[in-house]
Chain A
Amino acid sequence: GAGVSQSPSNKVTEKGKDVELRCDPISGHTALYWYRQSLGQGLEFLIYFQGNSAPDKSGLPSDRFSAERTGGSVSTLTIQRTQQEDSAVYLCASSPDRSNYEQYFGPGTRLTVT
């Protein structure tokens, strides 16, 4: 079946502009996660959605970052007034439910802020 998909695969934007990154989880997966991977670093947790519960936003680095998940499926990560330090690969993952062990990752969106 189809895996997690993300769009766009690459995004170049000017400092100060807003960007939206999209994630389509695997169909039927109730849990969805966003991570950020800066160059040469591990993954940094950003936000977690589980079903209809309130999202865990504890990893969002500033109020310029927000995310929503419509209809329990597709998620959009929005970064307002982008800064150069926001340049990174943004990875989305999904899993079938909160008790499942494995997270399935998408290919990521490489964001470059110039």
Chain B
Amino acid sequence: AQKITQTQPGMFVQEKEAVTLDCTYDTSDPSYGLFWYKQPSSGEMIFLIYQGSYDQQNATEGRYSLNFQKARKSANLVISASQLGDSAMYFCAMREGGRANNLFFGTGTRLTVIP
């Protein structure tokens, strides 16, 4: 089974609007971490936001927030007030346990912001 599932290959959003990128995960480990990365066309992976499985509150970082629904095993990324520079691939990833070794990545969602 896939550990990270991103069901939206592509999304469009109007500039200044909010958009939600979906991510569901699968793990039996009670301790895990969830990450979102942005990959612009230049190719670099840019860390956006992190949510720990024991965190009581949803993570927020500027215009990014993570809608963490533990029972549903979902960790959707919400981008508020979209900007043209937000157009990129977005990857959801998970680290299992406290091992801090590899991340499991989803297949990504390509977000296009329309002026």
Contact = CB atoms under 8 A, between A and B. Distances in A.
Nearest to A104: B47
A101 to B, nearest CB: 5
Interface residues of A, number: 28
Contacts, number: 62
A91 B91 CA distance: 14
A104 B50 CA distance: 13
Contacts of B95: 101
A45 B104 contact: yes
A107 B106 contact: no
30 contacts: A31-B100, A33-B101, A35-B102, A35-B105, A42-B4, A42-B105, A42-B106, A42-B107, A42-B108, A43-B45, A45-B103, A45-B104, A48-B102, A59-B102, A89-B43, A93-B45, A97-B100, A98-B101, A99-B100, A100-B100, A101-B35, A101-B50, A101-B52, A101-B95, A102-B35, A102-B50, A105-B37, A105-B46, A107-B44, A108-B43
Interface of A: 31, 33, 35, 41-45, 48, 50, 56, 59, 89, 91, 93, 95, 97-108
